Amino acid sequence: MDIVLSVQFKKAFAGGFSMDVSWQAAREIVVLFGPSGAGKSLTFQVIAGLVRPDEGHIQLGDKVFHDARAGIELPPQSRDIGYLFQHYALFPHMTTRENVLYGHRQPRSSEAAADFAAMLTRFHLEGLEQRYPAALSGGQRQRVALARALMRKPRVLLLDEPLSAVDLSVRRSIRNELRNLQRVLDIPMVIITHDLGEALALADRLVIYDHGRVVQSGTPDAIVQDPQNEIIAAWAGNTRLHGERTFSF
């Protein structure tokens, strides 16, 4: 496996919560699954450089984002990541066009205009250029946010609960679009969800979080066959949980 993104860090927060996680991603979809409060979103913030870990090593390709021992902490502005927040975080005072161009390195260049036109087509946003986020549907907002994130040509895409704010009826098609997008971009795509069905449907690899730790990681098949987490064991109808421990409902 050709590792592109490697994440390993420890962080203690005020109030007693602590994190100690480690996982890798190749050019594939990695799903971070776990209950809310397990530290999935915090992991994204650490990768993005918004929260500084106590120790660890985070690297994307040959670019070291963070290395506590070497004293490296790259500012978030130079990390080349695409980050979709849970509610998309579109700027409410900007139109679709302004939002998407905001992501470009040279928003006024002719290159930016061409990139913007390409994004409009790719994400079916034609005709919505002058709309404000308040006048867009959940699915449209998500596509605007994706277009904005991709304007910077990121080398990894982090999506925090991308399906939670869209209707059930369009989830399946968005799932397919995300899979498609990952294949076209050919970069690691890391997706957070606390819906196990989504996790299994999307993931090339699954990383299971609980209480700030990685409980298990592997392909969905491998995890379902030998679950080390009660939620997954229950879902798989598997009564044997990690060796001799017996799981009951």
Q: Is 167 left (phi over 0), alpha (psi -120 to 50) or beta?
A: beta
Residue of 8, 64, 67, 85 that binds another protein (CB under 8 A): 85
Nearer to another protein, 58 or 224 (CB): 58
Shortest reach from residue 90's CB to another protein, in Å:
8
Structure tokens at 96: 């679709």
* CA dist., res. 198 & res. 171, Å (int): 9
Residue of 10, 122, 131, 152 that binds another protein (CB under 8 A): 152
Does residue number 140 form part of the binding site for another protein (CB under 8 A)?
Answer: no
Residue of 56, 103, 162, 188 that binds another protein (CB under 8 A): 103
* CA dist., res. 68 & res. 248, Å (int): 42
Cα separation values, 139 from 11, 38, 97, 162, Å: 34, 27, 16, 10
- Helices (H), ranges, the chain: 40-48, 96-102, 110-122, 138-150, 168-185, 196-202, 220-225, 230-236
- Residue with tokens 């795509």, as numbered in its chain: 189
Q: Tell me which stretch binds another protein (CB under 8 A): 64-72, 88-96, 123-131, 206-214.
A: 88-96
Does residue number 39 form part of the binding site for another protein (CB under 8 A)?
Answer: no
Does residue number 108 form part of the binding site for another protein (CB under 8 A)?
Answer: no
Residue of 37, 61, 76, 218 that binds another protein (CB under 8 A): 76
Task: Enumerate residues 40-59 that contact another protein by CB under 8 A.
Answer: 45, 48, 50
Shortest reach from residue 81's CB to another protein, in Å:
6
Nearer to another protein, 89 or 185 (CB): 89
* CA dist., res. 9 & res. 187, Å (int): 22
Q: How many CB atoms lie within 10 A of CB 62?
A: 5
* CA dist., res. 171 & res. 219, Å (int): 22
- DSSP assignment of 34-83: --TTSSHHHHHHHHHTSS--SEEEEEETTEEEEETTTTEE--GGGS-EEE
Residue of 1, 14, 16, 77 that binds another protein (CB under 8 A): 77
Does residue number 138 form part of the binding site for another protein (CB under 8 A)?
Answer: no
Q: Tell me which stretch binds another protein (CB under 8 A): 21-29, 61-69, 72-80, 114-122.
A: 72-80
Nearer to another protein, 75 or 243 (CB): 75
Shortest reach from residue 3's CB to another protein, in Å:
22
* CA dist., res. 55 & res. 72, Å (int): 11
The binding site for another protein (CB under 8 A) comprises 45, 48, 50, 76-79, 81, 83, 85-87, 89, 91-93, 102-103, 105, 148-149, 152
